[in-house]
Amino acid sequence: MASPSSSLSQAEFGPFELLPQIVWCSDPNGANIFINREFESFTGRTREELLGYGFKHAIHPDDRERVLERWQQSWLDGHPYECEFRLRRFDGTYRWLCAQARGVLDETGLLLYWVGTCHDIHALKTAEQHERTLQRITSALSTKIEAAEVARIVTTELRAGLGALGGGVLCCQDRSAPIVVGALGHDAAAFLHWSGIRMEGGETLAQVVHGGQLVVTQALLPEPDPSSHDPLLLACVPLMFEERVIGALVVTFGDPRELPREDRALLEKVAAQTAQALERSRLWHGEQRAQGERERVMAQLSSVLGAAPVGLGFLDRQGRFVRVNEQLAAFHGVSVEAHTGRTLAEVVPQLATWAEPLIAQVQQGARALLDLEVRLPANPTSPERHCRVSFYPIPGQRDSGVDGVGLMVQDVTEQHESAQALQALNAALEGRVAERTRRWQDLNAELRALTSSLANDLEEPLRRIGSVLALIEKRVNQQLGGQLDERTRYHFSLARDETSRLSHLAGDLRHLAQLENRQLRLTPVALTPLVVQVRSDLEPISRGRHLTWRVHELSSVQGDPLLLRQVLAELLLNALEATAGRPDALIEVGCWEEPNELVVWVRNNGTGCESHLAEDPFTTGLRSEHAGHGIGLPNVRRIMGRHGGRAWAEFRSDDGATFFLAFPSTPR
């Protein structure tokens, strides 16, 4: 038997074609018998595909069973039908619709057919879903959690709320390279790869997002990911905190079409929540690190206080003890516990008058007072002590001034007693040195007087001896008729030479006495001209010899010109004598500069000196024989000593000797 609706013609539903919304009609058994053009246009399916029960294939698979059960219940009991579900649109996307249907009855109350409409509620449903997603994310991120947990919560909720394939949270500061703190659906390398892809302007995706722009673009999974080579829709949202970008939220979708406006709005809201959660995580980590650092410092402080060999204590702004160690408690003769919360005047009243103004000075000026000497009075646990006390300002947090004062007390009783004993010893030594110096000065004055007197006393007798020897030689020669034998001549020559040597010695002694009594007259002395002058003076001695002189450029020094001339004369004369047997004699003079002195050297390629004098040639055993009154090498050292300098020599067995004179940069 045919149903009442079977006799209805499409013409009877003609007015429904004009309505700008989805309209459909079904028979009493729920099979579509009419579909208007709006239904066809929305789904992109033909009328034939939608008639009967073909419409069910356009319903979202997750909603299909629920919709059909509800629809069946309505046409069985005749109650009005209303249901919300997702319907596939012509472009492949699903939109939320609200379907409503009413039965049409004849005059006898028999159901003829159903007339239904569908209204688009996608925006409302999406807003409700987004709001629930945002509320869940906000609630989950409201506590202090790790950055990785923040990323997990956000990406999990976005996958559920937006149907995203995956998501990741990247952090970066001041345009530095991004760091993936959490990823879901793809590995971290994929998100780093996407952050570096180039956009149309030539900048990387990370650079564009760092400028504060939300970017939606297509991207491929990085090679060699074999899962898919189809393009993905990539949404990259900047994470903003206090108008600066701290990272990015990256979300991927399998459908590469444009991201809906409401989804963009949700991503921006989620990004704001994510940025705040990351900043809370950063601050929380900072607090944890600060707390750990405080605990570490306090543990170290306790260790230092216990192990320190000095007394340590800390006072607050009111001058009350906050903490002290056992050593300071022993100095004060009061227990550690008895210090806490008490002022210095209450603990050691004897020191209050001295210490409290110093503590106030440190608090006001924020400047340490170091190594102040004080004597601590005796107490039941400690004898009287000499101590060295220092006060240190303890800065407050964030430039809040001085938060307190640190106190360090060091027992220097032994050092004080040692210093007193050393002072007494030094005083005794200084007295002994002064006495010996006075005796040495007296002896030196006596020696200079004796030297001068001896020289004067020797000169006249030696002159007479020389005259008498000459007269005797003359008379003996006359008596022998001018026929003195060689042996007699040799003895007369030997007596003259010895007399002459003694005369030179007397002259040396007189000159030595004059040098010792001469006061130094320090002036700038140009050494190069002085060497040239001395060389000219020695020309008679070197005449007729094959001799090479090399005089390099010499610096100027501070000294007594007369004494330095005699020093150079002695050294050059010594060099002439040392090279007397050399056919290729060489005498060279030069200098070099040290940080605190100028070193002048005189080198010769002569025969050196006797082995017993090589270690210290500046002795009375080594002197020049052609110096006239010559002062000798020993007095070279003496003159250099008077100038605050020094003299030494180096000998080589086959290559002569080098004599050195060191002049201080600042003469003494």
Q: With cut-offs at 50, 70 and 90, classify the pLDDT of residue 451.
A: low
SS3 call for 119: strand
Q: Show contacts of 242-245: CB within 8 Å, 24+ apart.
A: 245/172, 245/209, 245/210, 245/211, 245/212
pLDDT of residue 627: 40
Q: Does 520-664 carry CATH code 3.90.79.10?
A: no
Concatenate the DSSP letters of all residues of 345-400 into one string. Answer: HHH-HHHHHHHHHHHHHHHHH---EEEEEEEEPPBTTB--EEEEEEEEEEE-TTS-
What is the predicted pLDDT for the residue at 557? 93
> Burial code of 562-586, b = ≥16 C-beta within 10 A, e = fewer?
ebbbbbbbbbbbbbbbbbeebeebb
Mean pLDDT throughout 7-11? 54
Interval 168-190: pLDDT, tens: 888 876 666 788 888 888 888 88
Contact present, 4 and 112 (Cβ < 8 Å)? yes
- 100-114, 198-212, 591-605, 647-661: range with lowest mean pLDDT: 198-212
Between CA 90 and CA 58 the distance in angstroms is 10
Judged by average pLDDT, the poorest of 170-179, 411-420, 522-531 is 170-179
> DSSP secondary-structure letter at 259?
P
Are 621 and 582 a contacting pair, CB within 8 Å? no
Which residues have a Cβ under 8 Å from the Cβ of 481 and sit 6 or more positions away? none
Residue 630's pLDDT is what? 43
Amino acid at position 31, single letter: A
Tokens of 112: 């003829």
Sorted by sequence, the CB contacts under 8 Å of residue 376 that are 6+ apart come out as 331, 332, 348, 351, 382, 384, 385, 386, 387, 409
The predicted pLDDT at position 264 comes to 87
Weakest-pLDDT range from 51-65, 251-265, 440-454 = 440-454
**The pLDDT of residue 521 is above 70:** yes
Q: What is the pLDDT of residue 6?
A: 45
The CATH class that applies to domain 417-514 reads: mainly alpha
**pLDDT at residue 601 in the model:** 94
CB crowding 625-639: b at 16 or more within 10 Å, else e: eebebbbbbbbbbbb
Residue 522 has pLDDT above 80, yes or no: yes
Q: State the CB neighbour count (10 A cutoff) for residue 396.
A: 13
- The model's pLDDT over 349-394, given as tens digits with 9 standing for 90+, comes to 888 788 888 888 888 877 888 888 888 777 777 778 888 888 888 8
Q: Over the chain, what is the mean pLDDT? A: 82
User: Which pLDDT score, from 0 to 100, does residue 614 have?
Assistant: 55
- As to burial, measured by CB atoms within 10 angstroms (0-12 exposed, 13-18 middle, 19+ buried), residue 504 is middle
Q: At what angle do helices 633-642 and 486-517 cross, to 10 degrees?
A: 0
C-alpha Rg value of the chain to the nearest Å: 57
What's the 3-state SS for 398-440?
Answer: CCCCEEEEEEEEEECHHHHHHHHHHHHHHHHHHHHHHHHHHHH
> Please, which residues have CB within 8 angstroms of residue 23's CB and are 6 or more apart in sequence?
16, 34, 36, 38, 39, 115, 116, 117
- Give me the pLDDT at residue 5, please: 46
Cβ proximity of 101 and 72 under 8 Å:
no
In 3D space, the residue among 226, 276, 227 whose CA is nearest the CA of residue 249 turns out to be: 276
Please tell me the distance from the alpha carbon of residue 648 to that of residue 617, in angstroms, as a whole number: 8
Asked if pLDDT for residue 155 goes beyond 50, the answer is: yes
Decide if 109 contacts 78 (C-beta within 8 A): no
Task: Map residue 45 onto helix, strand or coil.
Answer: coil
Q: Is the Cβ–Cβ distance between 251 and 158 less than 8 Å? A: yes
Quick one: what percent of the chain has pLDDT higher than 90?
Answer: 21
Q: Which residue has the higher pLDDT, 300 or 160?
A: 160
470-500 pLDDT tens trace = 788 777 777 777 777 888 777 778 887 777 7
Give the least confident one: 54-63, 237-246, 490-499, 558-567.
Answer: 490-499
Confidence class of residue 51 from pLDDT cuts 50, 70 and 90?
very high
Beta carbons of 151 and 286 less than 8 angstroms apart: no
Domain ranges of the chain: 4-120, 126-286, 308-411, 417-514, 520-664
Between CA 59 and CA 69, with CA 65 as vertex, the angle to 5 degrees is 115
- CA-CA distances (angstroms) from residue 282 to 144, 338, 377? 9, 42, 54
Going from the C-alpha of 462 to that of each of 167, 275, 503, the distances in angstroms are 120, 114, 6
180: β partners = 170
Letter for the amino acid at 198?
Answer: R
pLDDT at 530: 93
> Would the CATH topology of 4-120 be identical to that of 126-286?
yes
Residue 386 to residue 226: CA distance in whole angstroms: 83
Domain 126-286 grouped into CATH 3.30.450.40 = yes
CATH topology of domain 4-120: Beta-Lactamase (3.30.450)
What count of other Cβ atoms lies within 10 Å of the Cβ of residue 531?
22
Place of tokens 């919560």: 153
Measured in Å, how far apart are the chain's first and last C-alpha atoms?
Answer: 142
- pLDDT for 43 beyond 50: yes
Mean pLDDT value across residues 273-290: 86
Query: Locate tokens 């399998």: which residue?
Result: 254
- Using a 10 angstrom Cβ sphere, with 0-12 exposed, 13-18 middle and 19 or more buried, the burial of residue 167 is buried
Whose tokens are 């069910």? That residue is: 56
Task: Determine how many CB atoms are found less than 10 A away from the CB of residue 668.
Answer: 7
pLDDT, residue 46, reads: 92
Task: Dump the DSSP string for 173-232.
Answer: STTPPPEEEEEESS-HHHHHHHHT-B-TTS-BHHHHHHTT--EEEEE-PPTT--S--S-E
Helices in 28-60 by DSSP H: which ranges? 37-43, 47-50
Pairing of strands 311-316, 402-411: antiparallel
User: Which burial class, exposed, middle or buried, applies to 538 when counting CB atoms under 10 A from its CB (0-12, 13-18, 19+)?
Assistant: middle
Higher pLDDT: 200 or 529? It is 529
Contact 171, 178 (CB under 8 A): yes
Residues with Cβ within 8 Å of 323's Cβ and at least 6 positions away in sequence, in order, are 305, 313, 314, 340
Range picked from 370-374, 451-455, 598-602 for highest mean pLDDT: 598-602
Mean pLDDT, residues 291-320 taken together? 79
pLDDT at 626: 42
Residue 10 pLDDT level (bands cut at 50, 70, 90)? low
CA dist., res. 57 & res. 8, Å (int): 25
Asked if residue 610 has pLDDT above 60, the reply is no
Higher pLDDT, 478 or 506: 478
7, pLDDT greater than 60: no
pLDDT of 600 reads 95
Confidence check: pLDDT of 625 > 50: no
Q: What percent of the chain has pLDDT over 70?
A: 85
Considering the domain 308-411 in this protein, what is its CATH number? 3.30.450.20
**Selection from 584, 552, 543, 557 nearest residue 644 by Cα:** 557
Is residue 358 packed enough to be buried (19+ CB in 10 Å), middle (13-18) or exposed (0-12)? Answer: middle
| Of the candidate ranges 119-123, 149-153, 395-399, 583-587, the one whose mean pLDDT is the lowest | 395-399
**For the segment 191-248, what is each residue's pLDDT rounded down to a tens digit?**
888 888 777 666 777 777 777 888 888 888 776 554 556 788 888 888 888 888 888 8
